[in-house]
Amino acid sequence: MTQRSDDSKSTGSSYVTVSDGTRIFFKDWGSGQPLFFHHGWPLSADDWDAQMMFFLAQGYRVIAHDRRGHGRSTQTDKGHDMDTYAADAAAVVEALDLKDAIHIGHSTGGGEVTRYVAKYGKGRVAKAVLISAIPPLFMKTDKNPDGVPKDVVDGIRDGTANHRSQFYKDITIPFYGFNRPGANVSEGIRENWWRQGMMGSILAQYECIRVLSETEFYDDLKSIDVPVLVMHGEDDQICPFPTTGARSVKLLKHGTLKSYPGLPHGMPTTHADLINADLLAFIKAN
């Protein structure tokens, strides 16, 4: 059983308390067809600012939550697995009684969307979007021989566990492609990433690295019946396009791929106008 509490109706922010007592923070603005945004590691609903503002102005109802342990949600030591992440999202959907919704996920949030739609989406989800997303499998394994090497994942673990503040400053450079020639480096974007990361629980973020790197989504992708747009930057230095987006679209029944030469992992922020326009076209398409 889930409980909803409105901390401030004037700000459109609320919490849902899920079955293990964890409080999941979410924003819910506007009216119209609901668009539900799922953020990446180790961020929060704030990472969707550019999309929330744009689609609110377009007449949509926009919802975004903070994953458990991230942002303003409870810093719990429990439930750090993809099934629980999806169940938490389902609890917010249930509390708001969302129907005909479009679920949009970035990075780890794309994995969360995939698991949520596969497990809970029947009758509630119209479409889904995976942006720079981790499926079908992030880390290199026997099944995924050209995935991200384990030593790279271990480096993310070490950085998060042992020098999180500096590591979160440093990772913004490849995340947004700011290490590429001619890149327009924004210190504000870097600081906002750092701010969001440091808001959350170090434990939850450390555990989430295991979840994002080791969870398999092959069966989830194959089972999804609704139209899915896969958007991926071809210069993604976090989730390499050939092993993630390029493979996910082949597993979907109704998948469409839109890849972007030269664009980085964090393209919803660095190229918000382009991404928002393409999202809007997909949302409006019959």
Q: Which residues of 49-74 are buried (b: 16+ CB within 10 A; e: fewer)?
A: ebbbebbbebebbbbbbbbbbbbbbb
Q: With contact defined as beta carbons under 8 Å apart, do 87 and 115 qualify?
A: no
pLDDT of residue 9: 42
pLDDT of residue 33: 98
Residues 66 and 62: their CA atoms lie apart, in Å, by: 14
**Which residues form the catalytic set?**
107, 236, 265
The number of C-alpha atoms within 13 Å of 186 and in the hemisphere containing its C-beta is 13
Instruction: Give whole-number Cα distances, 249 to 35, 127, 173, 232, 258, in Å.
Output: 21, 14, 27, 11, 10
DSSP-based three-state secondary structure for 131 = strand
pLDDT of residue 286: 84
User: How many Å separate Cα 157 from the centre of its chain?
Assistant: 19
Residues 102 and 121: their CA atoms lie apart, in Å, by: 10
Residue 255, token pair as written in the block: 């998948």
Residues 126 and 56: their CA atoms lie apart, in Å, by: 18
Residue 215, token pair as written in the block: 């969870």
Residues in contact with 285: Cβ distance below 8 Å, sequence separation at least 6, in sequence order: none
CA angle at residue 252 from 228 to 105, to 5 degrees? Answer: 40
DSSP-based three-state secondary structure for 252 = coil
Residues 20 and 72: their CA atoms lie apart, in Å, by: 17
Q: With contact defined as beta carbons under 8 Å apart, do 120 and 99 qualify?
A: no
The number of residues in the chain equals: 286
| Second CATH level (architecture) for the domain 3-284 | 3-Layer(aba) Sandwich (3.40)
Q: Which residues of the chain have pLDDT under 70?
A: 1-13
Residue 283, token pair as written in the block: 């949302």
Place of tokens 């596969």: 118
Taking the model in full, what pTM does it have?
0.95
pLDDT of residue 7: 47
pLDDT of residue 13: 67
Closest CA to 37 of 22, 20, 54: 54
Domain ranges of the chain: 3-284
Place of tokens 């989406």: 121
The residues facing 49 across adjacent strands are: none
